[in-house]
């Protein structure tokens, strides 16, 4: 009997930490002992592994078996260590040759019958394995398609421990690539049925949505029920530019960690749209739990997070979004470490102006001034300050609904958005930002320079609208986006006027 070592990995948020699984089989009292800062589910692996090895046709020796998961200062959790532990023991028993596991990384859960079951987070593990120069990644068969999204990495998908040992002896495997899988998923892209052409009237609101998407600005819509707020929000993804290969890969990694990927077609090819309801908790929105997982804001990263009926949310829940919206990242602190998840979302919110929803139409609104003030006060001013664009959504008129003229399609709007974004990408190349919404104070001075007349108007608007430093800067950022949509290099008076309209909503 002897010592052996097999590579594995653990997830810390979106980060992957390499783990060495060491096994020592020696003479002594028969015991199966595991060390290495283990959680309860990892400690339970001992019984699963021993039974799986026995039911795979191997004879477990009546020896002293010690398993160590290194490094010892990183908490190990989950069931993905079952497979590397079994491989390490079989190698120490000389049932598997040590050379066949050289530069091999393995993850997977074992059933008592020796079957290999799927685990979460295979894609980021595969990406880290490629960076570490791993020659072969062993994963459960159900995770194989996910692992093959990483280009140039040898992937071995197995459905049982017995089959794995046979394959290691034959040393077979295949190289997967991102390009191959992009071809495979191109046929399964779901075409969105929603289109901006479905929305009758509401030109001002559709214009505000276009500006918001062009500059990656947050959008708040306020208006009576039935005005089309939710309808517009659900069609915003149709005017977002298509995902690049890198964006698609990064979004897929988040869904991999959350365990929400399709087994057959794992690559995410559409921008996410996550609609959150009033019953959501802080942990569900930001991510959390004893072992934090990505929340709704991270699942929406790269796409749209939609909060309908904003005033109906618990105020404490909404307030936790303030920091992630500014920093584009979620940080969750736990005793075992800090977990980070992406939060690069476009936040879209909708709310009624009063409890009944019809203020200021006094023919239909029966709410008192106190009720209206109390209802609107459920959303704090600091949170509203994070909303770049606030727009009123009036009720739809009969003339708009009965009009037979065709509205602009999402494709037409998306082309304008793409041109505006191309201007931003070219302007900020090498500046570590992409969109106007990301401009810092110094960059605003550089890229949002105003003329004498524009400066005078902004001074008046600052005092009249009681702008704060944050909202003043947001007006300039939105004006910069409007100028980009118009193809202008400098911010003009009409661009500022439109941007100020988006801050002139009183709630």
Q: Which two tokens stand for residue 60?
A: 């477990």
Query: Burial level of 117, CB count in 10 A (0-12/13-18/19+)?
Result: middle
390 and 330 within one domain = yes
pLDDT computed for residue 507 by the predictor: 62
CATH number for position 90: 3.30.230.10
Q: Which two tokens stand for residue 240?
A: 């977002």
What is the tens place of the pLDDT at every residue in 120-168? 999 999 999 999 999 999 999 999 999 999 998 999 999 999 999 988 8
Are 2 and 111 spatial neighbours (Cβ–Cβ below 8 Å)?
no
Q: What angle do CA 386, 390, 395 make, to 5 degrees?
A: 150
Query: Residue 181: inside a domain, yes or no?
Result: no
142 and 256 within one domain = no
For residue 441, the Cα-to-chain-centroid distance in whole angstroms is: 27
Query: Residue 464: inside a domain, yes or no?
Result: yes
Q: Is the sign of the CA dihedral 133, 170, 181, 19 positive or negative?
A: negative
Separation of alpha carbons 308 and 440, rounded Å: 29
375 and 459 within one domain = no
Of 80, 360, 107, 394, which Cα lies nearest the Cα of 226? 394
Separation of alpha carbons 426 and 369, rounded Å: 49
Query: Residue 82: inside a domain, yes or no?
Result: yes
Query: Residue 434: inside a domain, yes or no?
Result: no
Separation of alpha carbons 408 and 197, rounded Å: 5
452 and 315 within one domain = no
Q: What is the pLDDT averaged over residues 453-481? A: 93
139 and 207 within one domain = no
CA of 309: how far to CAs of 48, 206, 232, 467, in Å?
48, 19, 14, 25
Separation of alpha carbons 384 and 390, rounded Å: 9
SS3 242: coil
320 and 393 within one domain = yes
Query: Residue 319: inside a domain, yes or no?
Result: yes
411 and 372 within one domain = yes
pLDDT computed for residue 506 by the predictor: 65
The answer on pLDDT for 83 being more than 60 is yes
What is the tens place of the pLDDT at every residue in 350-361? 999 999 988 988
Q: What is the span of the domain harbouring residue 322? A: 196-427
312 and 252 within one domain = yes
**Overall number of domains in the chain:** 3
Query: Residue 321: inside a domain, yes or no?
Result: yes
What is the tens place of the pLDDT at every residue in 404-422? 678 899 999 999 999 999 9
Query: Residue 365: inside a domain, yes or no?
Result: yes
Q: In sequence order, which residues have a C-beta less than 8 Å from that of residue 349 and are 6 or more positions away?
A: 218, 219, 220, 221, 306, 307, 308, 310, 387
65 and 152 within one domain = yes
For residue 332, the Cα-to-chain-centroid distance in whole angstroms is: 15
Model pTM score = 0.90
Of 180, 175, 172, 182, which Cα lies nearest the Cα of 153? 175
464 and 366 within one domain = no
What is the tens place of the pLDDT at every residue in 170-215? 764 443 333 344 444 433 344 457 888 888 888 999 999 999 999 9
- Domain end among 406, 427, 448: 427
124 and 13 within one domain = yes
CATH number for position 407: 3.40.50.300
Q: In sequence order, which residues have a C-beta less than 8 Å from that of residue 274 and are 6 or more positions away?
A: 296, 299, 300, 303, 304, 305, 306
The answer on pLDDT for 400 being more than 80 is no
Q: Is the sign of the CA dihedral 310, 311, 313, 316 positive or negative?
A: positive
Query: Residue 404: inside a domain, yes or no?
Result: yes
Of 454, 456, 469, 463, which Cα lies nearest the Cα of 499? 454
């Amino acid at each position: 009997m002897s010592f052996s070592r097999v590579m594995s990995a653990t997830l810390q948020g979106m980060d992957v930490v390499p783990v060495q699984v060491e096994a020592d089989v020696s003479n002594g009292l028969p015991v199966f002992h595991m060390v290495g800062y283990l959680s309860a589910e990892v400690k339970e692996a001992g019984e699963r592994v021993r039974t799986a090895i026995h039911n795979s046709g191997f004879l477990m020796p009546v020896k002293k078996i010690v398993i160590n998961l290194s490094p010892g200062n990183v908490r190990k959790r989950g069931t993905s260590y079952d497979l590397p532990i079994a491989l390490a023991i079989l190698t120490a028993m000389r049932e598997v040759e040590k050379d066949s596991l050289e530069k091999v990384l393995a993850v997977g859960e074992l059933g008592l019958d020796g079957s290999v079951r799927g685990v979460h987070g295979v894609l980021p593990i595969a990406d880290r394995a490629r960076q570490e120069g791993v020659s072969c990644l062993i994963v459960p068969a159900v995770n194989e398609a996910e692992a093959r999204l990483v280009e140039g990495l040898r992937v071995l998908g197995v459905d049982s421990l017995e089959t794995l040992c046979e394959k290691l002896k034959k040393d077979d495997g295949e190289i997967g690539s991102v390009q191959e899988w992009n071809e495979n998923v191109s046929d399964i892209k779901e075409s969105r049925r929603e289109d901006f052409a479905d929305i009758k009237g509401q030109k001002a609101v559709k214009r505000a949505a276009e500006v918001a998407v062009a500059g990656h600005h947050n959008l708040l819509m306020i208006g009576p029920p039935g005005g089309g707020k939710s309808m517009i929000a659900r069609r915003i993804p149709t005017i977002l530019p298509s995902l690049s290969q890198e964006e698609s890969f990064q979004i897929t990694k988040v869904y991999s960690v959350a365990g929400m990927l399709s087994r057959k077609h794992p690559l995410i090819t559409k921008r996410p749209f996550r609609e959150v309801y009033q019953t959501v908790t802080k942990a569900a929105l930001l991510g959390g739990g004893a072992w934090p997982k990505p929340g709704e804001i991270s699942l929406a990263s790269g796409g749209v997070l939609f909060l309908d009926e904003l005033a109906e949310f618990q105020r404490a829940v909404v307030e936790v979004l303030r920091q992630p919206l500014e920093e584009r990242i979620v940080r969750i602190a736990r005793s075992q470490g800090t977990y980070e998840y992406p939060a690069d979302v476009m936040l879209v919110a909708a709310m009624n102006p009063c409890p009944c929803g019809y203020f200021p139409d006094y023919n239909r609104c029966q709410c008192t001034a106190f009720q209206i003030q109390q209802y609107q006060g459920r959303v704090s001013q600091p949170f509203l300050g994070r909303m770049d664009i606030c727009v009123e959504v009036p009720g739809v008129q009969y003339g708009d609904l009965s009009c037979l003229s065709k509205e602009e399609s999402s494709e037409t709007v998306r082309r304008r958005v793409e041109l505006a974004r191309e201007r931003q990408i070219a302007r900020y190349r090498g500046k570590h930002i992409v969109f106007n919404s990301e401009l810092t104070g110094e960059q605003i001075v550089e890229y949002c320079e105003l003329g004498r007349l524009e400066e005078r108007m902004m001074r008046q608007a600052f005092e009249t609208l009681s702008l704060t430093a944050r909202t003043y800067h947001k007006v300039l950022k939105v004006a910069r986006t409007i100028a980009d949509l118009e193809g202008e290099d400098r911010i003009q008076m009409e661009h500022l006027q439109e941007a100020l309209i988006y801050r002139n909503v009183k709630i």
